[in-house]
Structure 1
Amino acid sequence: MELETSQFEPGKLPREFVLAAMDHFKDQKLIHKRYVARLLLSCRKYYESISSLTEINIPTDPPEHDPTTEPRVTVCGDTHGQYYDVLNIFEMNGHPSATNPYLFNGDFVDRGSFSVEVILTYLLWKLHDPACIYLSRGNHETKNMNKIYGFEGEVKTKYDDQIFELFLEVFSYLPLAAVIGKSVFVAHGGISTNEKVMLDDIRKIKRGIEPPETSLMSDLLWSDPQPFPGKSPSKRGVGFAFGPDITEHFLERNGLSLLVRSHEVKEDGYLIEHGGKTITIFSAPNYCDTMGNKGAFIHFDKTLKPNFTQFTSVPHPDVKPMAYSAGMGGLFGL
Protein backbone atom coordinates (compact mmCIF):
# COMPACT_ATOMS: atom_id res chain seq x y z
CA MET A 1 0.00 0.00 0.00
CA GLU A 2 1.68 3.20 -1.21
CA LEU A 3 1.11 6.44 0.69
CA GLU A 4 1.79 10.10 -0.05
CA THR A 5 3.87 12.21 2.32
CA SER A 6 0.80 14.31 3.06
CA GLN A 7 -0.94 11.26 4.55
CA PHE A 8 1.61 11.10 7.37
CA GLU A 9 -0.17 13.82 9.29
CA PRO A 10 -2.38 13.58 12.38
CA GLY A 11 -5.82 12.34 11.38
CA LYS A 12 -4.85 11.50 7.80
CA LEU A 13 -3.15 8.11 8.01
CA PRO A 14 -5.57 5.43 6.69
CA ARG A 15 -6.69 2.79 9.18
CA GLU A 16 -6.07 0.16 6.50
CA PHE A 17 -2.38 1.10 6.44
CA VAL A 18 -2.09 0.78 10.23
CA LEU A 19 -3.72 -2.65 10.21
CA ALA A 20 -1.58 -3.80 7.28
CA ALA A 21 1.57 -2.61 9.08
CA MET A 22 0.53 -4.53 12.21
CA ASP A 23 0.11 -7.72 10.16
CA HIS A 24 3.50 -7.06 8.59
CA PHE A 25 5.09 -6.76 12.03
CA LYS A 26 3.31 -9.90 13.22
CA ASP A 27 5.02 -11.79 10.38
CA GLN A 28 8.39 -10.33 11.48
CA LYS A 29 8.55 -8.00 8.50
CA LEU A 30 9.33 -4.28 8.62
CA ILE A 31 7.77 -1.29 6.91
CA HIS A 32 10.07 0.77 4.72
CA LYS A 33 12.47 3.23 6.30
CA ARG A 34 10.96 6.14 4.34
CA TYR A 35 7.60 5.54 6.01
CA VAL A 36 9.22 5.28 9.45
CA ALA A 37 11.11 8.54 8.93
CA ARG A 38 7.94 10.36 7.80
CA LEU A 39 6.04 8.92 10.75
CA LEU A 40 8.65 10.02 13.29
CA LEU A 41 9.07 13.51 11.84
CA SER A 42 5.32 14.05 11.89
CA CYS A 43 4.98 12.70 15.43
CA ARG A 44 7.82 14.88 16.69
CA LYS A 45 6.09 17.96 15.28
CA TYR A 46 2.76 16.90 16.77
CA TYR A 47 4.07 16.16 20.26
CA GLU A 48 6.15 19.34 20.29
CA SER A 49 2.91 21.30 19.84
CA ILE A 50 0.92 19.84 22.76
CA SER A 51 1.04 20.15 26.54
CA SER A 52 3.22 18.12 28.92
CA LEU A 53 -0.04 17.15 30.65
CA THR A 54 -2.67 15.36 28.55
CA GLU A 55 -6.35 15.91 29.36
CA ILE A 56 -8.45 12.86 28.43
CA ASN A 57 -12.25 12.76 28.55
CA ILE A 58 -14.40 9.64 28.77
CA PRO A 59 -16.03 9.07 25.34
CA THR A 60 -19.76 9.74 25.05
CA ASP A 61 -20.34 6.65 22.89
CA PRO A 62 -19.51 2.98 23.59
CA PRO A 63 -16.78 1.18 21.62
CA GLU A 64 -17.92 0.42 18.07
CA HIS A 65 -16.73 -3.19 18.35
CA ASP A 66 -18.78 -3.74 21.53
CA PRO A 67 -21.76 -1.33 21.72
CA THR A 68 -23.17 -3.11 24.78
CA THR A 69 -20.40 -1.77 27.05
CA GLU A 70 -20.19 1.60 28.79
CA PRO A 71 -18.06 4.30 27.14
CA ARG A 72 -14.57 3.99 28.60
CA VAL A 73 -10.87 4.76 28.46
CA THR A 74 -8.39 1.86 28.70
CA VAL A 75 -5.15 2.43 30.63
CA CYS A 76 -2.20 0.09 30.03
CA GLY A 77 1.11 0.01 31.86
CA ASP A 78 4.55 -1.07 30.65
CA THR A 79 4.51 -3.14 27.47
CA HIS A 80 8.33 -3.29 27.05
CA GLY A 81 8.67 -4.56 23.50
CA GLN A 82 6.26 -7.49 23.97
CA TYR A 83 4.53 -6.95 20.64
CA TYR A 84 2.58 -10.20 20.59
CA ASP A 85 1.13 -9.41 24.02
CA VAL A 86 0.12 -5.97 22.70
CA LEU A 87 -1.68 -7.71 19.83
CA ASN A 88 -3.43 -9.82 22.45
CA ILE A 89 -4.56 -6.70 24.31
CA PHE A 90 -6.09 -5.38 21.08
CA GLU A 91 -7.68 -8.78 20.41
CA MET A 92 -9.29 -8.76 23.87
CA ASN A 93 -10.20 -5.09 24.05
CA GLY A 94 -10.56 -3.88 20.45
CA HIS A 95 -8.34 -1.73 18.26
CA PRO A 96 -7.82 1.90 19.22
CA SER A 97 -10.49 4.33 18.03
CA ALA A 98 -12.08 7.57 19.20
CA THR A 99 -14.76 5.47 20.92
CA ASN A 100 -12.19 2.96 22.27
CA PRO A 101 -9.26 5.16 23.35
CA TYR A 102 -6.13 3.84 25.04
CA LEU A 103 -3.56 5.47 27.30
CA PHE A 104 -0.23 3.63 27.30
CA ASN A 105 1.64 4.79 30.37
CA GLY A 106 5.29 4.64 29.30
CA ASP A 107 7.99 1.99 28.86
CA PHE A 108 6.89 0.89 25.41
CA VAL A 109 10.45 -0.15 24.52
CA ASP A 110 13.52 -2.00 25.89
CA ARG A 111 13.73 -5.47 27.46
CA GLY A 112 11.48 -7.20 24.93
CA SER A 113 12.98 -7.64 21.46
CA PHE A 114 9.98 -6.40 19.46
CA SER A 115 10.17 -2.82 20.74
CA VAL A 116 10.35 -1.33 17.24
CA GLU A 117 7.07 -3.03 16.35
CA VAL A 118 5.40 -1.88 19.58
CA ILE A 119 6.28 1.80 19.34
CA LEU A 120 5.66 2.01 15.59
CA THR A 121 2.21 0.50 16.10
CA TYR A 122 1.35 3.08 18.77
CA LEU A 123 2.63 5.98 16.65
CA LEU A 124 0.82 4.76 13.53
CA TRP A 125 -2.46 4.73 15.47
CA LYS A 126 -1.64 8.21 16.78
CA LEU A 127 -1.36 9.58 13.26
CA HIS A 128 -4.48 7.73 12.18
CA ASP A 129 -6.50 9.51 14.88
CA PRO A 130 -4.88 11.43 17.77
CA ALA A 131 -8.01 10.80 19.88
CA CYS A 132 -7.68 7.00 19.66
CA ILE A 133 -4.41 6.56 21.58
CA TYR A 134 -2.44 8.58 24.12
CA LEU A 135 1.18 7.99 25.05
CA SER A 136 3.03 9.22 28.15
CA ARG A 137 6.80 9.03 28.47
CA GLY A 138 8.38 6.38 30.68
CA ASN A 139 11.89 6.21 32.10
CA HIS A 140 12.79 3.83 29.23
CA GLU A 141 11.90 6.41 26.59
CA THR A 142 15.34 7.87 27.23
CA LYS A 143 18.75 7.62 25.60
CA ASN A 144 20.63 6.09 28.54
CA MET A 145 18.09 3.31 29.08
CA ASN A 146 17.86 2.57 25.34
CA LYS A 147 21.62 2.14 25.14
CA ILE A 148 21.67 -0.48 27.91
CA TYR A 149 18.37 -2.34 27.62
CA GLY A 150 18.08 -3.08 23.92
CA PHE A 151 16.13 -0.47 21.99
CA GLU A 152 19.16 1.28 20.47
CA GLY A 153 20.62 -2.01 19.29
CA GLU A 154 17.27 -3.15 17.94
CA VAL A 155 16.62 0.02 15.95
CA LYS A 156 20.13 0.05 14.51
CA THR A 157 19.76 -3.62 13.53
CA LYS A 158 16.31 -3.19 11.96
CA TYR A 159 16.89 0.33 10.55
CA ASP A 160 19.88 2.61 11.24
CA ASP A 161 21.41 5.36 13.41
CA GLN A 162 19.34 8.09 11.78
CA ILE A 163 16.05 6.39 12.65
CA PHE A 164 17.23 5.84 16.23
CA GLU A 165 17.98 9.56 16.61
CA LEU A 166 14.49 10.38 15.30
CA PHE A 167 12.98 8.03 17.88
CA LEU A 168 14.90 9.83 20.63
CA GLU A 169 13.56 13.17 19.43
CA VAL A 170 9.98 11.87 19.51
CA PHE A 171 10.52 10.41 22.99
CA SER A 172 11.87 13.72 24.27
CA TYR A 173 8.62 15.51 23.37
CA LEU A 174 6.17 12.91 24.70
CA PRO A 175 3.76 14.18 27.39
CA LEU A 176 4.79 13.36 30.95
CA ALA A 177 1.42 12.69 32.56
CA ALA A 178 -2.33 12.62 31.93
CA VAL A 179 -5.56 13.39 33.75
CA ILE A 180 -8.63 11.31 32.91
CA GLY A 181 -12.05 12.84 33.47
CA LYS A 182 -10.54 15.68 35.52
CA SER A 183 -10.10 13.15 38.34
CA VAL A 184 -7.57 10.36 37.70
CA PHE A 185 -3.88 11.33 37.50
CA VAL A 186 -1.68 8.99 35.47
CA ALA A 187 2.13 9.13 35.26
CA HIS A 188 4.70 6.42 34.62
CA GLY A 189 6.58 6.53 37.90
CA GLY A 190 4.35 8.58 40.12
CA ILE A 191 4.44 11.97 41.81
CA SER A 192 6.94 14.40 43.24
CA THR A 193 7.64 14.51 46.97
CA ASN A 194 7.59 18.31 46.71
CA GLU A 195 4.39 19.22 48.59
CA LYS A 196 3.80 22.32 46.46
CA VAL A 197 3.60 20.70 43.00
CA MET A 198 0.40 21.54 41.12
CA LEU A 199 -0.88 20.33 37.74
CA ASP A 200 0.13 23.67 36.22
CA ASP A 201 3.74 22.95 37.20
CA ILE A 202 3.55 19.76 35.14
CA ARG A 203 2.00 21.60 32.19
CA LYS A 204 4.96 24.01 32.23
CA ILE A 205 7.74 21.39 32.17
CA LYS A 206 10.15 22.04 29.32
CA ARG A 207 10.48 18.99 27.08
CA GLY A 208 12.72 18.17 24.13
CA ILE A 209 15.46 17.05 26.53
CA GLU A 210 16.72 14.00 28.34
CA PRO A 211 15.45 13.95 31.95
CA PRO A 212 17.67 15.92 34.36
CA GLU A 213 18.84 13.79 37.29
CA THR A 214 16.81 15.77 39.81
CA SER A 215 13.69 17.46 38.46
CA LEU A 216 9.91 17.24 38.37
CA MET A 217 10.28 15.41 35.04
CA SER A 218 12.47 12.76 36.65
CA ASP A 219 10.06 12.41 39.57
CA LEU A 220 7.19 11.66 37.18
CA LEU A 221 9.26 9.09 35.28
CA TRP A 222 11.15 7.39 38.11
CA SER A 223 9.38 7.60 41.48
CA ASP A 224 7.78 4.68 43.34
CA PRO A 225 5.23 4.42 46.16
CA GLN A 226 6.24 3.22 49.61
CA PRO A 227 3.84 1.86 52.28
CA PHE A 228 4.89 4.19 55.12
CA PRO A 229 4.50 8.01 55.32
CA GLY A 230 7.03 10.53 54.09
CA LYS A 231 9.72 10.13 51.45
CA SER A 232 12.84 7.99 51.09
CA PRO A 233 15.71 7.82 48.58
CA SER A 234 14.70 5.52 45.73
CA LYS A 235 16.09 2.00 45.61
CA ARG A 236 16.68 2.73 41.92
CA GLY A 237 19.22 5.44 42.68
CA VAL A 238 17.12 8.09 40.91
CA GLY A 239 14.39 10.14 42.56
CA PHE A 240 12.40 9.29 45.69
CA ALA A 241 9.79 6.92 47.04
CA PHE A 242 6.60 8.61 48.25
CA GLY A 243 4.29 7.57 51.05
CA PRO A 244 0.48 7.53 51.32
CA ASP A 245 0.45 10.96 52.96
CA ILE A 246 2.24 12.49 49.96
CA THR A 247 -0.23 10.83 47.58
CA GLU A 248 -3.21 12.07 49.55
CA HIS A 249 -1.92 15.66 49.73
CA PHE A 250 -1.13 15.74 46.00
CA LEU A 251 -4.59 14.49 45.08
CA GLU A 252 -6.37 16.84 47.51
CA ARG A 253 -4.64 20.05 46.48
CA ASN A 254 -5.18 19.27 42.79
CA GLY A 255 -8.83 18.20 43.07
CA LEU A 256 -8.08 14.61 42.03
CA SER A 257 -9.31 11.26 43.32
CA LEU A 258 -6.76 8.64 42.24
CA LEU A 259 -3.14 8.13 41.17
CA VAL A 260 -2.39 5.49 38.51
CA ARG A 261 1.23 4.64 37.76
CA SER A 262 3.23 1.77 36.24
CA HIS A 263 7.01 1.25 36.36
CA GLU A 264 7.04 -1.96 38.48
CA VAL A 265 6.24 -5.57 37.60
CA LYS A 266 3.37 -6.94 39.71
CA GLU A 267 2.46 -10.62 40.06
CA ASP A 268 -1.22 -10.00 39.33
CA GLY A 269 -0.63 -7.26 36.75
CA TYR A 270 -1.75 -4.57 39.17
CA LEU A 271 -1.53 -3.56 42.83
CA ILE A 272 -3.68 -1.18 44.89
CA GLU A 273 -1.88 0.76 47.63
CA HIS A 274 -2.12 3.87 49.79
CA GLY A 275 -5.62 3.10 51.04
CA GLY A 276 -6.94 2.70 47.51
CA LYS A 277 -5.48 6.00 46.29
CA THR A 278 -2.55 4.55 44.29
CA ILE A 279 -2.76 1.85 41.61
CA THR A 280 0.21 0.29 39.81
CA ILE A 281 -0.72 -1.15 36.41
CA PHE A 282 1.70 -3.38 34.46
CA SER A 283 0.82 -4.80 31.04
CA ALA A 284 3.80 -7.01 30.12
CA PRO A 285 2.82 -10.57 31.19
CA ASN A 286 5.60 -13.06 31.92
CA TYR A 287 7.97 -10.11 31.88
CA CYS A 288 11.24 -10.90 30.09
CA ASP A 289 9.94 -14.46 29.58
CA THR A 290 10.97 -15.24 33.16
CA MET A 291 8.73 -13.57 35.75
CA GLY A 292 5.51 -15.57 35.34
CA ASN A 293 3.40 -12.51 36.20
CA LYS A 294 0.02 -11.66 34.71
CA GLY A 295 -0.54 -8.48 32.75
CA ALA A 296 -3.49 -6.19 33.31
CA PHE A 297 -5.24 -3.09 32.02
CA ILE A 298 -7.84 -0.77 33.55
CA HIS A 299 -11.14 0.52 32.20
CA PHE A 300 -12.41 3.88 33.42
CA ASP A 301 -16.01 4.73 32.54
CA LYS A 302 -17.99 7.82 33.59
CA THR A 303 -17.93 6.68 37.24
CA LEU A 304 -14.10 6.90 37.11
CA LYS A 305 -13.89 3.74 39.21
CA PRO A 306 -11.15 1.32 38.06
CA ASN A 307 -12.24 -1.95 36.46
CA PHE A 308 -9.36 -4.42 35.97
CA THR A 309 -8.82 -7.06 33.28
CA GLN A 310 -5.99 -9.57 33.75
CA PHE A 311 -4.37 -11.65 31.03
CA THR A 312 -1.52 -14.08 30.53
CA SER A 313 1.27 -14.06 27.98
CA VAL A 314 0.96 -15.45 24.47
CA PRO A 315 3.64 -17.17 22.38
CA HIS A 316 6.07 -15.08 20.38
CA PRO A 317 8.76 -15.88 17.77
CA ASP A 318 11.96 -17.34 19.14
CA VAL A 319 13.80 -14.08 19.76
CA LYS A 320 14.83 -13.80 23.39
CA PRO A 321 14.30 -10.66 25.49
CA MET A 322 17.35 -8.39 25.61
CA ALA A 323 18.58 -9.91 22.34
CA TYR A 324 19.81 -6.48 21.19
CA SER A 325 21.04 -5.15 24.55
CA ALA A 326 24.52 -3.78 25.16
CA GLY A 327 24.58 -5.39 28.61
CA MET A 328 22.10 -7.58 30.39
CA GLY A 329 21.68 -5.40 33.47
CA GLY A 330 19.41 -6.43 36.33
CA LEU A 331 15.85 -7.44 35.55
CA PHE A 332 14.47 -5.55 38.50
CA GLY A 333 16.59 -2.46 39.15
CA LEU A 334 15.45 -0.05 36.43
Structure 2
Amino acid sequence: WDSVETFLLHLAQQVRYPDRITLIRGNHESRQIPQPDAPVSVCPQIFCVHGGLSPSIQTLDQIRTIDRKQEVPHDGPMCDLLWSDPEDPAGWGVSPRGAGYLFGSDVVAQFNAANEVSMICRAHQLVMEGYKWHFGETVLTVWSAPNYCYRYANEMLMRC
Protein backbone atom coordinates (compact mmCIF):
# COMPACT_ATOMS: atom_id res chain seq x y z
CA TRP A 1 0.00 0.00 0.00
CA ASP A 2 1.01 3.58 -0.46
CA SER A 3 1.66 5.64 2.64
CA VAL A 4 -1.46 7.82 2.28
CA GLU A 5 -3.76 4.77 2.06
CA THR A 6 -1.99 3.14 5.01
CA PHE A 7 -2.32 6.26 7.15
CA LEU A 8 -6.01 6.67 6.25
CA LEU A 9 -6.70 3.03 7.14
CA HIS A 10 -5.03 3.49 10.54
CA LEU A 11 -6.89 6.75 11.09
CA ALA A 12 -10.22 5.09 10.27
CA GLN A 13 -9.39 2.26 12.69
CA GLN A 14 -8.62 4.80 15.41
CA VAL A 15 -11.98 6.52 14.86
CA ARG A 16 -13.84 3.18 14.85
CA TYR A 17 -11.94 1.69 17.82
CA PRO A 18 -10.74 4.67 19.89
CA ASP A 19 -10.01 2.53 22.97
CA ARG A 20 -8.04 -0.08 21.03
CA ILE A 21 -6.03 1.81 18.38
CA THR A 22 -3.47 4.52 19.05
CA LEU A 23 -1.31 6.10 16.39
CA ILE A 24 2.24 6.72 17.53
CA ARG A 25 4.99 8.85 16.07
CA GLY A 26 8.18 7.60 14.45
CA ASN A 27 11.54 9.34 14.35
CA HIS A 28 11.17 9.99 10.60
CA GLU A 29 7.97 11.95 11.07
CA SER A 30 9.33 15.45 10.83
CA ARG A 31 9.45 18.04 8.11
CA GLN A 32 13.10 17.22 7.39
CA ILE A 33 12.66 13.47 6.83
CA PRO A 34 9.35 12.46 5.24
CA GLN A 35 8.82 8.68 5.45
CA PRO A 36 5.70 6.47 5.42
CA ASP A 37 5.98 5.43 9.10
CA ALA A 38 2.73 5.03 11.07
CA PRO A 39 3.12 2.34 13.75
CA VAL A 40 -0.03 1.42 15.69
CA SER A 41 -0.69 0.42 19.32
CA VAL A 42 -3.52 -2.13 19.62
CA CYS A 43 -3.38 -3.61 23.13
CA PRO A 44 -3.25 -1.94 26.56
CA GLN A 45 -0.89 -4.64 27.94
CA ILE A 46 1.67 -3.87 25.22
CA PHE A 47 3.61 -0.61 25.16
CA CYS A 48 4.14 0.33 21.52
CA VAL A 49 6.85 2.83 20.74
CA HIS A 50 8.92 3.63 17.69
CA GLY A 51 12.35 3.37 19.29
CA GLY A 52 12.57 2.46 22.94
CA LEU A 53 12.88 3.72 26.49
CA SER A 54 14.36 6.82 28.12
CA PRO A 55 16.26 7.20 31.39
CA SER A 56 14.10 10.29 31.96
CA ILE A 57 10.86 8.29 31.87
CA GLN A 58 9.71 5.70 34.38
CA THR A 59 5.93 5.79 33.84
CA LEU A 60 3.44 5.94 31.01
CA ASP A 61 1.93 9.03 32.66
CA GLN A 62 5.23 10.85 32.09
CA ILE A 63 4.99 9.98 28.38
CA ARG A 64 1.44 11.36 28.23
CA THR A 65 2.72 14.78 29.36
CA ILE A 66 5.15 15.14 26.43
CA ASP A 67 4.07 17.67 23.82
CA ARG A 68 4.26 15.54 20.69
CA LYS A 69 3.19 18.34 18.36
CA GLN A 70 6.71 19.60 17.79
CA GLU A 71 9.78 18.90 15.73
CA VAL A 72 11.80 16.02 17.12
CA PRO A 73 14.33 17.51 19.57
CA HIS A 74 18.01 16.49 19.46
CA ASP A 75 17.88 15.11 22.99
CA GLY A 76 15.49 14.55 25.88
CA PRO A 77 12.62 12.11 26.54
CA MET A 78 10.85 12.49 23.19
CA CYS A 79 14.09 11.98 21.28
CA ASP A 80 14.88 8.92 23.42
CA LEU A 81 11.48 7.30 22.74
CA LEU A 82 12.09 7.64 19.01
CA TRP A 83 15.79 6.67 18.84
CA SER A 84 16.67 4.23 21.66
CA ASP A 85 17.46 0.53 21.05
CA PRO A 86 17.63 -2.65 23.17
CA GLU A 87 21.11 -4.05 23.77
CA ASP A 88 22.46 -6.99 25.78
CA PRO A 89 24.50 -5.23 28.50
CA ALA A 90 22.43 -4.29 31.55
CA GLY A 91 21.49 -0.70 32.33
CA TRP A 92 21.79 2.30 30.07
CA GLY A 93 24.44 2.85 27.41
CA VAL A 94 25.46 5.46 24.87
CA SER A 95 23.81 4.90 21.50
CA PRO A 96 26.07 4.75 18.46
CA ARG A 97 23.31 6.53 16.55
CA GLY A 98 24.15 9.81 18.27
CA ALA A 99 20.61 10.10 19.68
CA GLY A 100 18.70 8.09 22.27
CA TYR A 101 20.22 5.35 24.42
CA LEU A 102 20.90 1.64 24.51
CA PHE A 103 18.84 -0.09 27.22
CA GLY A 104 19.21 -3.53 28.80
CA SER A 105 16.89 -6.25 30.06
CA ASP A 106 16.94 -4.88 33.63
CA VAL A 107 15.64 -1.51 32.39
CA VAL A 108 12.86 -3.28 30.47
CA ALA A 109 11.86 -5.44 33.46
CA GLN A 110 11.65 -2.39 35.73
CA PHE A 111 9.64 -0.34 33.19
CA ASN A 112 7.22 -3.18 32.40
CA ALA A 113 6.60 -3.95 36.09
CA ALA A 114 6.10 -0.28 37.02
CA ASN A 115 3.60 0.20 34.20
CA GLU A 116 1.86 -3.17 34.32
CA VAL A 117 2.68 -4.01 30.70
CA SER A 118 3.75 -7.44 29.52
CA MET A 119 5.97 -6.35 26.66
CA ILE A 120 7.32 -3.53 24.52
CA CYS A 121 6.69 -3.61 20.77
CA ARG A 122 8.89 -1.38 18.65
CA ALA A 123 10.34 -0.82 15.19
CA HIS A 124 13.33 1.42 14.40
CA GLN A 125 15.94 -1.30 13.72
CA LEU A 126 16.45 -3.27 10.55
CA VAL A 127 15.80 -6.95 11.29
CA MET A 128 16.33 -9.18 8.26
CA GLU A 129 14.02 -11.87 9.70
CA GLY A 130 11.18 -9.31 9.84
CA TYR A 131 10.95 -9.48 13.63
CA LYS A 132 13.26 -10.17 16.56
CA TRP A 133 12.60 -10.98 20.22
CA HIS A 134 14.83 -9.47 22.90
CA PHE A 135 15.23 -10.24 26.60
CA GLY A 136 13.12 -13.39 26.89
CA GLU A 137 10.26 -12.08 24.77
CA THR A 138 9.74 -8.85 26.73
CA VAL A 139 10.71 -6.65 23.75
CA LEU A 140 9.73 -7.30 20.15
CA THR A 141 11.23 -5.44 17.19
CA VAL A 142 9.03 -5.56 14.08
CA TRP A 143 10.53 -4.38 10.81
CA SER A 144 8.71 -4.74 7.51
CA ALA A 145 9.80 -1.70 5.55
CA PRO A 146 9.79 -2.64 1.88
CA ASN A 147 12.97 -1.79 0.01
CA TYR A 148 14.40 0.26 2.89
CA CYS A 149 16.94 2.73 1.48
CA TYR A 150 16.54 0.89 -1.84
CA ARG A 151 18.76 -1.96 -0.67
CA TYR A 152 17.03 -4.24 1.86
CA ALA A 153 14.32 -6.85 1.38
CA ASN A 154 13.67 -8.53 4.71
CA GLU A 155 11.69 -11.70 5.46
CA MET A 156 8.42 -9.89 6.36
CA LEU A 157 8.43 -8.34 2.90
CA MET A 158 9.06 -11.74 1.32
CA ARG A 159 6.06 -13.25 3.14
CA CYS A 160 3.60 -10.57 1.98
The TM-score, its normalising length taken from structure 2, stands at: 0.83
Letter in 1 for 2:47: F
Among candidates 290, 302, 312, match of residue 158 of structure 2: 312
Among candidates 16, 19, 30, match of residue 131 of structure 1: 16
Between structures 1 and 2, the one with greater helix share? 1
Which residue does the alignment assign to 1:242?
103
Q: Conserved in 2, the CA contact under 8 Å of 1:233 and 1:240?
A: yes
Which residue does the alignment assign to 1:122?
6
Which residue does the alignment assign to 1:184?
46
- The residue matched to 1:246 in structure 2 has which SS? helix
Change (3 A) 1:247 1:125: same
Change (3 A) 1:278 1:128: closer
Report which of the two structures shows the higher radius of gyration computed on alpha carbons: 1
TM-aligned CA deviation for residue 218 of structure 1: 1.0
- Residues 31-80 of structure 1 deviation map (CA, whole Å, 9 limit, x = unaligned): xxxxxxxxxxxxxxxxxxxxxxxxxxxxxxxxxxxxxxxxxxxxxxxxxx
Q: How many residues align?
A: 155
- 2 CA distance for matches of 1:292 and 1:179? 26
Letter in 1 for 2:48: V
- 1 CA distance for matches of 2:143 and 2:68? 25
Which residue does the alignment assign to 2:31?
143
Q: Identity over aligned residues, as a percent?
A: 35
- Residues 2-43 of structure 1 deviation map (CA, whole Å, 9 limit, x = unaligned): xxxxxxxxxxxxxxxxxxxxxxxxxxxxxxxxxxxxxxxxxx
TM-aligned CA deviation for residue 126 of structure 1: 4.7
Structure 1 residues 317-328: aligned runs within 5 Å: none
1:251 aligns with 2:97: no
- Residues 64-100 of structure 1 deviation map (CA, whole Å, 9 limit, x = unaligned): xxxxxxxxxxxxxxxxxxxxxxx3xxxxxxxxxxxxx
Q: Conserved in 1, the CA contact under 8 Å of 2:22 and 2:42?
A: no
- Residues 140-195 of structure 1 deviation map (CA, whole Å, 9 limit, x = unaligned): 0012333xxxx5xxxxxxxxxxxxxxxxxxx9xx9x98471x3111100011123x
Q: Conserved in 2, the CA contact under 8 Å of 1:177 and 1:220?
A: no
1:264 aligns with 2:136: no
Q: Conserved in 1, the CA contact under 8 Å of 2:92 and 2:103?
A: yes
Letter in 2 for 1:268: E
- Bigger relative contact order, structure 1 or 2 (CA pairs below 8 A, ≥6 apart): 1
TM-aligned CA deviation for residue 215 of structure 1: 1.8
Among candidates 253, 273, 288, match of residue 149 of structure 2: 288
TM-aligned CA deviation for residue 124 of structure 1: 2.6
- Alignment root-mean-square deviation, CA: 2.6
- 2 CA distance for matches of 1:188 and 1:268? 18
Alignment gaps of 5+ in structure 2: none
- 2 CA distance for matches of 1:258 and 1:128? 26
- 1 CA distance for matches of 2:62 and 2:140? 23
- Residues 218-273 of structure 1 deviation map (CA, whole Å, 9 limit, x = unaligned): 11111111111011111110111111110110001111110111001101000101
Alignment gaps of 5+ in structure 1: 1-86, 88-116, 152-170, 296-310, 315-334
Which residue does the alignment assign to 1:49?
none
TM-aligned CA deviation for residue 286 of structure 1: 4.4
Q: Conserved in 2, the CA contact under 8 Å of 1:139 and 1:222?
A: yes
- 2 CA distance for matches of 1:184 and 1:128? 21
Structure 1 residues 219-230: aligned runs within 5 Å: 219-230=80-91
